[in-house]
Amino acid sequence: MASLAITPFAARRPLPVYQNLESFPFAFQPLTLKRRFSVEVCGSSFLWWSKRPRRARNHVCSSFLVGSAGKDALCTAAGFAGAYAWIRIFDLLGEKNVLEQKLSRKLIHVSTGLLYVMLWPFFSASPWSRFFALAIPMANATRLAVNGFGLLKDEGFVKSISREGTAGELLRGPFYYALVLSCCTVCFWRDSPVGMTAIAIMCGGDGIADIVGRRIGGIKLPHNTRKSWAGSISMFVFGFALSVCFLYYFSTSGYYLVDWTSAIWNVALISFVATVVESLPISGFLDDNISVPLASVILGLALFSTSM
Ligand SMILES: Nc1ccn([C@@H]2O[C@H](COP(=O)(O)OP(=O)(O)OP(=O)(O)O)[C@@H](O)[C@H]2O)c(=O)n1
Ligand SMILES: C/C(=C\CO)CCC[C@H](C)CCC[C@H](C)CCCC(C)C
């Protein structure tokens, strides 16, 4: 099994969170640092937290939670608006014939999940923040279901998300996609590399395989003549590169420490296995948006388990 690759700061040192946040490279930094004491208390470990006198603890934490709830609500609202606007842009580009429907759909597949994960560090250190983040893919899953079942008819939305322009399609690949983002948010959130690696490979890797495979094509795979070497190699390369970018992004934001030598090997192995799974002729009964993240999560749990 792999050696210690990634260690959450909280597991190593009792009070590191504000130090991590000092290297936080984003616009929300002043807001976070003003609440330094609160962040230390709630964002570190409950063990340390429970050693505080009860009255002081309640006071600090209730003010922290109220402040963080406002910040989290703002991030959730930005996510709702961002997702709506982003899909609308692709809808307009499709309408104006700037992008063909298949490419527009794949660009949405590649970009939305990656942008969603990039939003995670903007949420507060509250233990509830992941549930605020969860509201974003859940709201989009609801939008897909409502349109997919025909309860609402948003033609632009259906056109930019579906392959053939039929509403029923939204209930398959796109719906699974939103569910996978939701599950990774709840189960892994930002102090684990497992979920973000699975998302990077599902969004970036699998999406790019389609874009490159359709355009370059060329020699087909021996075990699946619908897929090409060009598609699979680009899936491996982009899945790997985007996963490494996420590890860098979240480690420099202070969520965990990375031992790069073993982390790179772990991510390469996960990307390779996910690429092999994507290449198998099984998408008729198991959608790529389930098989690829499932394989990545299982392997990620095994490889990163010593350091969780
Ligand atoms: N490893 C891969 C993956 C995809 N492709 C290309 O991308 C197309 C779409 O692949 P895929 O996404 O697996 O097909 P669908 O499931 O039909 O599409 P979607 O994921 O958009 O639902 C394939 O026909 C093929 O031309 C490829 O060449 N090599
Ligand atoms: C076409 C898709 C998958 C088919 O393989 C992707 C569907 C995307 C969903 C409709 C929208 C998902 C939105 C994200 C959860 C949030 C993005 C937020 C960000 C700020 C843009």
Q: Which 3 state secondary structure label does DSSP give 45?
A: coil
The answer, yes or no, to whether any atom of ligand 1 lies below 6 A from the CB of 38, is: no
> What's the half-sphere exposure (Cβ side, CA atoms, 13 Å) at 281?
8
Q: DSSP letter at 7?
A: E
Mean pLDDT for the stretch of residues 3-8 = 48
What is the 3-class SS of 220-250, one letter each residue? EECCEEEEEHHHHHHHHHHHHHHHHHHHHHH
The answer, yes or no, to whether any atom of ligand 1 lies below 6 A from the CB of 299, is: no
Other beta carbons within 10 angstroms of residue 37's beta carbon come to 12
The b/e string for 123-143 (b: 16+ C-beta within 10 A; e otherwise) is bbbbeebbbbbbbbbbbbbeb
Q: Which 3 state secondary structure label does DSSP give 161?
A: helix
Residue with more model confidence, 17 or 75: 75
Residue nearest to atom 15 of ligand 2 (CA): 137
The region of weakest confidence among 166-170, 211-215, 270-274, 301-305 is 301-305
Q: Give residue-wise pLDDT tens across range 179-216.
A: 999 999 999 999 899 999 999 999 999 999 999 999 99
CA-based torsion, 203, 295, 247, 79: positive or negative? positive
Residue nearest to atom 8 of ligand 1 (CA): 210
In Å, how far are 12, 17, 44, 254 from 8, measured between CA atoms?
Answer: 7, 11, 10, 9
